């Protein structure tokens, strides 16, 4: 698997959403979402196909939030989500941000929260 901080195309992002059941949105919404992203971590298989991605948005001063941590069904169970969250938190800590959180705890981001805390980040309101 290849991990990078290169954003996918809007069509790749939409395809990932479609394949994983995250929602059926128009392509222009994915273009806007990517342009509003602070950090994007993508994961591609050996054929170059996007199989996972995590995305952070930020207010530019205090907070950065995980907005997606998506892995295709066939790629799940191999640690892609955990590795992506570690990459995002490392990149985000390097930029001196203080809070890392998730608006979708039901998708299993507890390991992300633990990673963020172990990296020295402060728990935000979404964790309480």
DSSP the chain: -EEESPPPPHHHHHHHHHHHTS----HHHHHHHHHT-SEEEEEE-TTS-EEEEEEEEE-SSSEEEEEEEEE-GGGTTSSHHHHHHHHHHHHHHHTT--EEEES-GGGT-HHHHHHHHHTTPBP-GGG-
Question: Which domain, by its residues, includes 103?
Answer: 2-127
Per-residue pLDDT of 94-114, as tens digits, reads 555 444 444 444 444 444 444
Section 34-48 average pLDDT: 95
> Residue 11: what pLDDT?
98
pTM as predicted: 0.71
> Residue 75: what pLDDT?
96
Section 18-32 average pLDDT: 94
> Residue 115: what pLDDT?
43
In the chain, how many domains are there? 1
CATH label of the domain that carries residue 107: 3.40.630.30
């Amino acid at each position: 698997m290849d991990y990078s901080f290169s954003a996918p195309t809007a069509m790749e992002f939409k395809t990932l959403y479609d394949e994983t059941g995250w929602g059926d949105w128009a392509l222009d919404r994915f273009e806007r979402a990517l342009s509003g992203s602070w950090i994007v971590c993508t994961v591609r298989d050996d054929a170059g196909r996007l199989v996972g991605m995590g995305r952070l948005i930020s207010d530019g001063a205090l907070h950065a939030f995980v907005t997606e941590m998506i892995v295709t069904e066939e790629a799940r169970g191999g640690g892609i989500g955990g590795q992506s969250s570690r990459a995002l938190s490392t990149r985000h800590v390097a930029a001196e941000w203080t809070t890392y959180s998730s608006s979708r705890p039901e998708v299993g981001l507890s390991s992300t929260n633990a990673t963020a805390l172990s990296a020295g980040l402060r728990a935000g309101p979404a964790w309480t």
